[in-house]
Structures are given as structure tokens and as C-alpha cells.
Structure 1
Amino acid sequence: MKLVFAGTPEPAVPTLKALIASGHEVIAVLTRPDARKGRGRKMVPSPVKEVALEHGIEVLTPSTLKAGTEDGDAIRARLAELAPDAIPVVAYGNLVPKDLLDVAQHGWVNLHFSLLPAWRGAAPVQAAINAGDDITGATTFQIEEGLDTGPLLGTTTETIQTVDTAGALLERLSHSGAQLMVATMDGLESGTLVAQPQQGEPTYAPKISTEDARVSWTQPDFAVGRHIRAHSPFPGAWTMHGEDRIKIGKVSPLHAAAQELGELPHLEPGQLHITKKAVYIGTASTPVRIDELQPVGKKMMNAADWGRGQGAKNNSEDNDIDGEVFFA
């Protein structure tokens, strides 16, 4: 089939590469315009655009798909000329107006990183980890007007590991999802694939804000751990230490059999206990050990190194601080 691929960020790249390597023909790529990034604020193309250019594929970068706008009208004209059989989509980042949904024979086919109707919305991977799901996956479905409501074409499942961050899980899903998209295009071309309506009660995963990533130490240890993993690497879980905002990179749960647990004093939620070798913090249940954190203006670092610095600031000879130091 002739395909116009729509996608923008890095997780969309495996699917584009898989489609290019398949028996289908990617005749154009639809992606978001170049954006300013980094300290120099230079204009940078999307990861999808970079791959398309490497393969000599036409790139379309409208700022909007709305009819009646210069970009919107131009993209309608070009898609009509290209006459794609299907438009596979992975994290494109632009709403598709109703009048464009029928521009291709097989429509716009989205790859969503959950098992729909679970976790409809912008942050399904983060939501699955934060909720403590054991299994997630990826789904291909035909885009319609509703938010991730279209009929299903295919699914693949993925086990969520206890150490998975959102970044690590999304990386795996982007590759297994790429193969699912190729299989979906194959099935649509052969006519063996029939879309099925979604079944079950939907759950939702809205876009995550920086404020959403703030750690609540009044949650039990397992919930704190899930929250931190769900928001890593972006936007990054964080907490306040005095007037400083500190990112929390990784924590390790403790349990009743842990030898180190018996050495800890009682810690209230958010209360720190810093030794020469580790940094602990209280939760609503068992304390957790902070392994990595990022102070303001610095890179992610070993929490024990940060803790030793805090001991020096407080003139602690044994470098053991507790009772007065809190994260909030």
C-alpha cells in the first residue's frame, strides 16, 4: 500500500523505519514543524523528519490541519494528490479534523501505547505504571472524532517490570508496536483484518504537567516508587527541600526483612535520615532509600554524595542527620 506516515517524537521512529523496510511504500511523512531546543534555542527537526530525509521521503510540516488556514488548505491539496491508501499515525501531535479522516481508503490508523479502552489519552505508559498495572501493551485502531475511541485493529501485550520507568517501558512498546503496525497494514491490504469496537469501561490518561510529577511522601512506599518511575525521565518526579526543587531519579523500597530497616529511626512522611552511605526518607508506610537525585543547577547524582554534602553544611561530625530535615 501507499502510505503517508504521521508522527513526530522518538517513539514514532521505530514504526516509520519498520514501514520503510516493509513491503509497503512510504510516499510522504507528516510531522510537526521544526522547534527550538537546547540552550542555544536552535531550530531542530523532529526525529521523524530526520529519518524521512535520510531516506529521501517527502516531508510535510503544517503547523495546523484546520481547514480555512494556509497550512490546512495546502495539506488537503497535497494529500489529495498523493492519494494514500492509509495514514499510519504514532504520536503525531496534531488533531485530525473530521473532513480529513476519509482522505485515505483505510483511514488514519493510530498506534496507541495501551490496551484500549484502558488509558485513553496523552500519557498511557505513565498512567499504567502509576496505577500498578501488571500488563500493558499497544493497540492499533482507526481514528475517529472521539479521543482514542475508534474500532480496534490489533493489539500486542507487554509485561510491566517492577523496575520499569516510563522511558524504559515506552522504548520496548515503540519496537513491539512498530511490528504491530506493519502487521496491521498487511491485514488491511489483504482484507483479512476487520475492525472491532472497543469493549469495556475506559480509563483515561491525560497529559502530565510538571505539577503532576510532584512526589507526595504521604503516600505508601509502593505508590511513591510507582510515581517516580512513571514520571521518569519526563517531566521528572520532584520535591522541595527548603526553597530548592530537587528531582528524584530513583528510589529503592525497603521491607521488614531488610537489615538496614532495623537501623533506621521512625521517619514521618517526607522526613530525611542521612548517613554516610545512604539517604532515606519517610513515607506513609515503610521508608524508601533515595538512590539518585538532581539538585538545582546540577546533573543527576548519587544521593549518598548529596547527603554527605548536606552533613557538611550542618557541621555533623558523624554525617547522620535526622529529625529536622524534610522534603515536601
Structure 2
Amino acid sequence: MNFKIKMFFTFLISVLLIMSGCSNKNEKQKETSVSNNKTAFKIVDASSFKLKNIRGIGYPGNDNGLYVAGNDGLKLYKENRWYKTTTNQHDYIGFQAVESGFIASGHPQKGTSFKDPLGLIKSGDKGKTFQKLAFYDQANFHFTAASYSGKGLYVIGEKQSENISLGVNYSLDNGKTWKRSAFKNFDSDSMGMMAVHPTNGNIMAMSTRSGIYYSTDNGNTMKRVTEPFMVTALTFNGNSILFSSVENEKILLKTLSPLTGKQSNIIIPFLDYDNPITYLAVNPKNTNQMSFTTYKNDLYETTDGGKTWNNILTEGK
């Protein structure tokens, strides 16, 4: 099995984008709450479940606990117990935890009143109700990134349309208007996962097959800040970047200072070469609390900065 194909074409749906000749498009859309009233929304114990696909993880600032987005809604892990929602079990592609809740794209649960695709929606009440930020019933985004503060939102447009440009697009006003990132000096042959600084929405980074690219101007100018190794996942931890790389057939977890280039290793449980890290999350309210998922839907969490890890999901169970 070819690892590069597996990670960047099957899982990440990596796109080889033409970075020139794309005009900028802006969209203004009023925020509107949307909800489904057919079934009462509750958060209940989830004593047994199996996740087929994990779409993202994170620590929303308006709750205590780890959120796991799947193709069948949210799972919440709090105080060593699992919970789930009784409705609004949407396929939350591009899930992003933010200070006021979470942002996601994806497809609605069948039988609900939501239109497909969801575009970009935001919830501040654990998924009970939503705001339509942009592109509702128009587009779906596998690659999204949001600043924890809510001051920077990024998507990769996988095809050119009237409202979104091919390539990376960003919004600094909660999705009302959008601009296309110029991506100057970006010379990788693929695009991958994005991450945004938790408080400064102008700062973003991207993982690729040839390292991490970093920008302080909304992706208009990019700089590679690592050696050209494969990076499968990344997120910000304050001003540093937490990322996972594949080097010499080993799955590694590291921190990086983008300004100095200094890297430090974090010891993690052994992972097979065909089970790389797919998503990373850091709790901004407690940066010693971190978690990661793997290609085979394993989920690990630490509350002591990586000294010890708890395996809370194995193959999605």
C-alpha cells in the first residue's frame, strides 16, 4: 500500500490546484439560525458506539471536553465518559472548534430540514442550533481552518465558482466577505490541512508532502519552515505549531517555533507506519491537554503535556 496515496489522496482528498488566473470573489450573506424541530435535541450517554469516519476533533471554548466530529454527528468526551447528541447528527466535514462553539461544513442528517450541502455553519450551543456563515446549499469544504478567537476563517475552494475561488480563500469578518490568498512562494505540489493562530487570524500554516508552509499575511506570502518531509496533521499551540510528520518510516509528533525553526519531540505511543496521525487538537484553556486521531480511527488524549497518553478510542470504538 502506497502511504502517500493513502494519506493525501484518499483521506485528505488532496487537490493539485492551479494557483494562477483565479479572480477574487466576495460574498455577503446574513447570519441566520437554522434548526430541526422534529426530534428533541439532547446530549445523552453513549455507552457503546463505533465511528466509521472521524472528521475532526477539538476543544470548544464554551464547553469542557473533547468534541469528536464524525459522519454521524458529534461525540463528546468529558470526565472519562462519552456522550452523543440525539439529533442534528450531521456529517461534520471540516470541523473546527472555536472559543464560542464550533464551525463545520458537510452534509445534513437525512430526514432533517437542512439543505445539502451545509456550506459553513456555526453552533454556539453544542449543535442544537446553527448560524449560516456562508455558502449554505452551495458548497462543501473538506479543508477548513478557523482561529479560536473567531477572527480568521479559511477554506480551500476545490473548484471555481461565482462565490469562491479555486485555492485558499479567507474571511476576517465571520464569513461575510472572502478574498483569495495569493500563496506566493508556495512551491509544494499539493495542498493539505490548514491551521490558524488562535488569536491572530492573519497567521496560518499548511501541511504538505514537503513540509509546513507558514504565513503572517493570510496566505498571500508563504514560507516553508521545516525540512521537506511529509506532514500529515498540524494545529497551533499558542505561537508554536504542533504537528505530526512521517520520517524514516516513523510517525512523529513535534512542536515547532515558526520564527526560529526550533523543533522539539513529544513522545507518543507507537503507531504503525500505515496508521499515521490525521487530526490534532490542543485545548487553548489548558495547553497541557492535547489529543490526536489516526487513520484507523484511534484516539489518544493527554492532560499532562504528553508525558502520558490515554487511548480513548480504538478503531473508532
> TM (normalized to structure 1)?
0.27
Larger radius of gyration: 1
> TM (normalized to structure 2)?
0.28
Higher helix share: 1
Higher strand share: 2
